[in-house]
Amino acid sequence: MSIAYHEPEALDAAVRLLAEIEGARCIAGGQTLVAMLNAGLVEPAALVSLARIPELGAISRAGDGSLRIGAMATHEAIAESPLVARESPLIAGAAGAIAHPPIRSFGTIGGAVAHGDPNADYPAALVAADARVEIVGANGRRAVPAAEFFQDYLTTAVEPGEIVTAVLVPPPPAGVRGRFLKFTRVDGDYATVSVAALLGCEAGACKHIAVALGAVAPRPVRDRDAEIALIGRPPTDQAIAVLGETLAAACDPVDDVRGSAAYRRALVPILVGRAIKSLMQ
């Protein structure tokens, strides 16, 4: 099978190609797509590379103060960016936790979020950070909250012909710190469970808390009511344990080579406790 390959140098040209060629698909770093092509899981009519569109690779501060990470920014560029380290250690931590250096140097945040794998590392981090995913298509530009973007296993808010152009991470409230914790069988593997946590305390009481889980359901798991219940209260061992147990009950894990559903559920309160306590030190 031969596949036409296009390398547009502007975003509107890429959008046009995707609209004109039925069954065309974008390719970012090819880290997942090439394996899917080799396995015969997808048969696109054409590939539209995003590699030559400079604006998609930029990491910058947006006009509203958000961190704007272009879709073609690699995991390596994100993990090593001083701006990301300063503005969102949580996202930097997730990027640095992905696989191995070769994957991190080619794989992109846009490709990772568009693929929508619930076992991947960004989804939980983006949901905890209240990030938005910017999407451009023939009908214009929109920004979808991460909590709505990740919809189901390999299913996101991206419609056929649309391109993820950036991830927008709002600045966390003053004094809030973030941590991405990934539990794996072996170094470099996908997560058995991942925890993305943000915490800010004032006078010993929780002022801001957000905790999202990855690899334990078809989409990231977060419980805002359980977080709100902690606001204004000290994050005691007991209060954190209640949050961990509530999140464990909300999970819908699978049995696979990285762990049984029961094992994953048992890990959740332990890892949530570790992540939150690390932010209190």
Ligand X SMILES: Cc1cc2nc3c(=O)[nH]c(=O)nc-3n(C[C@H](O)[C@H](O)[C@H](O)COP(=O)(O)OP(=O)(O)OC[C@H]3O[C@@H](n4cnc5c(N)ncnc54)[C@H](O)[C@@H]3O)c2cc1C
Binding site for ligand X (CB under 6 A): 25-33, 35, 50, 71, 98-99, 103, 106-108, 110-112, 114-115, 120-121, 158, 163-164, 190
Do 236 and 208 touch, CB atoms closer than 8 A? no
**What is the smallest separation between the CB atom of 159 and ligand X, expressed in angstroms?**
10
- In this structure, how many other beta carbons lie within 10 angstroms of the beta carbon of residue 65? 9
* Cα–Cα dist 125/119, whole Å: 12
SS3 147: helix
**What is the smallest separation between the CB atom of 107 and ligand X, expressed in angstroms?**
2
* Cα–Cα dist 14/110, whole Å: 15
**What is the smallest separation between the CB atom of 237 and ligand X, expressed in angstroms?**
30
- For ligand X, give the closer residue by CB, 117 or 245: 117
**What is the smallest separation between the CB atom of 150 and ligand X, expressed in angstroms?**
12
Do 19 and 161 touch, CB atoms closer than 8 A? yes
- For ligand X, give the closer residue by CB, 126 or 176: 126
* Cα–Cα dist 45/60, whole Å: 34
Instruction: Residue 243: name the closest of 270, 281, 279 by CA.
Output: 270
- For ligand X, give the closer residue by CB, 154 or 228: 154
* Cα–Cα dist 261/131, whole Å: 28
- For ligand X, give the closer residue by CB, 158 or 209: 158
* Cα–Cα dist 236/129, whole Å: 23
**What is the smallest separation between the CB atom of 115 and ligand X, expressed in angstroms?**
4
Helices (H), the chain: 11-20, 33-38, 75-80, 82-87, 89-96, 101-106, 109-115, 122-128, 146-149, 224-228, 237-250, 261-280
**What is the smallest separation between the CB atom of 13 and ligand X, expressed in angstroms?**
14
**What is the smallest separation between the CB atom of 87 and ligand X, expressed in angstroms?**
20
**What is the smallest separation between the CB atom of 95 and ligand X, expressed in angstroms?**
9
Query: From edge to edge, which strands make up the β-sheet containing 67-70?
Result: 59-61, 67-70, 163-169, 132-137, 140-145
Do 17 and 24 touch, CB atoms closer than 8 A? yes
SS3 218: coil
- For ligand X, give the closer residue by CB, 30 or 200: 30
- For ligand X, give the closer residue by CB, 102 or 204: 102
- For ligand X, give the closer residue by CB, 126 or 211: 126
- For ligand X, give the closer residue by CB, 53 or 240: 53
